[in-house]
Amino acid sequence: MNRIAYLDYNATAPVRPEVVAVIAEALEYGGNPSSVHAAGRVARRAVEDARERIAALVGASPADVIFTSGGTEANNLALGGNVGRRLIVSAVEHGSVLGAAFLLDPHTEVVPVDSSGVIDLGALERALATNDRPAVVALMLANNETGAIQPVAEAASIAHRFDALLHCDAVQPFGKIPLAMPDLGADLLSLSAHKMGGPQGVGALVKRPSVAIKARAIGGGQERGWRAGTENVAGIVGFARAAELALADLDRMAEIGRLRDALEARLRAVTPRATVFGAGAERLPNTSCLSMPDVGSETQVIALDLAGVAVSAGAACSSGKVARSHVLQAMGLADAEASSAIRVSLGWRSTSDDIDRFVGAWTALYARTRPALQGDVALNG
Ligand code: PLP
């Protein structure tokens, strides 16, 4: 079978071959990093080496990198590990922030976004000012559905004026745009390996040295007591390698951005009713959330899949089910519009052939769905 046009990097990026190689090697180490014997020490050295490299890549200290099972656990730990603080979250956070926040505190405050999906900083300030109890503010750096980039540094300086901590979910932008914890002013930062060419099931919560976290996973005292459980040695090694490769390859993101822009322009040439959501905001260069007028997201995803093109419907980077997108809803989109949105996300292996295949399949589906409509679509697209 021909290689599919894989355009679902925000769900998971294909693992880079160099990462597969270091994971295979690490799987041979054998020892438990907590064991004192030679095999254990080899594993420990690999974990600590990866910790130093991840810390350097985000401008943090290795002592503040807590390896987790991925972005979800990092987000849960960031919110749940700050006992006693109230929670303020943006309306477009990932489910692992929103769900955890409401479970921890049903009185979690939600800060709205504008029609491009960007947080209302005035509303954030008002939410902070209404109550003296210190808060944790959760604001992602880039949205997984639309790619919209948030003003995290501004939000952090507002939060700090009210003695709040700023937690930033950087799962999507890490490896796609330059980022450094000190520039963001973030007190807590969540990362995940599998969005940039690393393995699934590993990530990190990185904190500022002064931030005290209370463990959620209790057991053998690993990760300096912040997160018990035998470390995923091979995953951690693969994570560090993937992050280094992605960041060394950031120039390629400019090219990816051009491919994404060309894709959007070509769909708009097919029909001006093809809307790109979040286009008014600064966005990750690899992400496009767009609608096919009058065609449900699920129908599009299935038809594109049959044509060898892999994309996601709205927020479906989580469960395989096509749910109503809380992100598009928060941006004020009507149900009819939001329900025709798909997410196309490019990455390190994307080529112009993938874009051609996507545009061809999208155009063919568009034409098939409106036999009554004459002259609106370039049937030969
Ligand atoms: N945060 C964002 C913005 C995401 O897109 C994802 C991906 O699904 C996560 C968190 C969860 O990360 P993980 O899949 O590593 O648990």
Residue-wise pLDDT tens digits, 116-155: 999 999 999 999 999 989 999 999 999 999 999 999 999 9
Q: Ligand 1 site: residues with CB under 6 angstroms?
A: 70-72, 75, 94, 96, 140, 144, 169, 171-172, 192, 194, 203, 317-318
**Which letter does DSSP use for residue 113 in this model?**
B
Q: Which amino acid is at 355?
A: I
Q: Which atom of ligand 1 is nearest to the CA of 194?
A: 15
| CA 33 to ligand 1 center in whole angstroms | 26
317 flagged as catalytic: yes
pLDDT tens for each residue of 195-229: 999 999 999 999 999 999 998 899 989 999 999 99
Which stretch of DSSP H or E encloses residue 361?
A: helix 352-368
Going by C-beta distance under 8 Å and a sequence separation of 6 or more, which residues neighbour residue 311?
7, 8, 300, 301, 304, 342, 343, 344, 345, 358
The residue with greater pLDDT, 372 or 241, is: 241
- Average confidence (pLDDT) over 151-161: 98
**Which member of 5, 295, 303, 317 is catalytic?**
317
Angle (CA) 70 59 159, round 5°? 80
Instruction: Give the pLDDT of residue 322.
Output: 58
Q: What is the pTM of this model?
A: 0.95
Q: What is the mean pLDDT of the chain?
A: 94
Instruction: Give the pLDDT of residue 292.
Output: 95
| CA 171 to ligand 1 center in whole angstroms | 6
User: Which residue, 344, 284, 337, is CA-closest to 311?
Assistant: 344
Q: Which atom of ligand 1 is nearest to the CA of 142?
A: 3
Band of pLDDT at residue 339, cut at 50, 70 and 90: very high
Going by C-beta distance under 8 Å and a sequence separation of 6 or more, which residues neighbour residue 173?
141, 142, 149, 179, 284
Distance CA(238)–CA(308), nearest Å, equals 29
User: Which residue, 172, 144, 118, is CA-closest to 280?
Assistant: 118
Q: Which atom of ligand 1 is nearest to the CA of 73?
A: 16
Angle (CA) 139 140 146, round 5°? 125
Instruction: Give the pLDDT of residue 320.
Output: 55
User: Which residue, 271, 289, 250, 263, is CA-closest to 352?
Assistant: 263
| CA 187 to ligand 1 center in whole angstroms | 19
Instruction: Give the 3-state secondary structure of 271-301.
Output: CCCCCEECCCCCECCCEEEEECCCCCHHHHH
Band of pLDDT at residue 192, cut at 50, 70 and 90: very high
Distance CA(47)–CA(49), nearest Å, equals 5
- Average confidence (pLDDT) over 26-55: 97
Distance CA(349)–CA(37), nearest Å, equals 41
Q: Indicate if the pLDDT at residue 262 is higher than 90.
A: yes
User: Which residue, 267, 301, 257, is CA-closest to 147?
Assistant: 257
Alpha-carbon 202 to chain mean position = 13
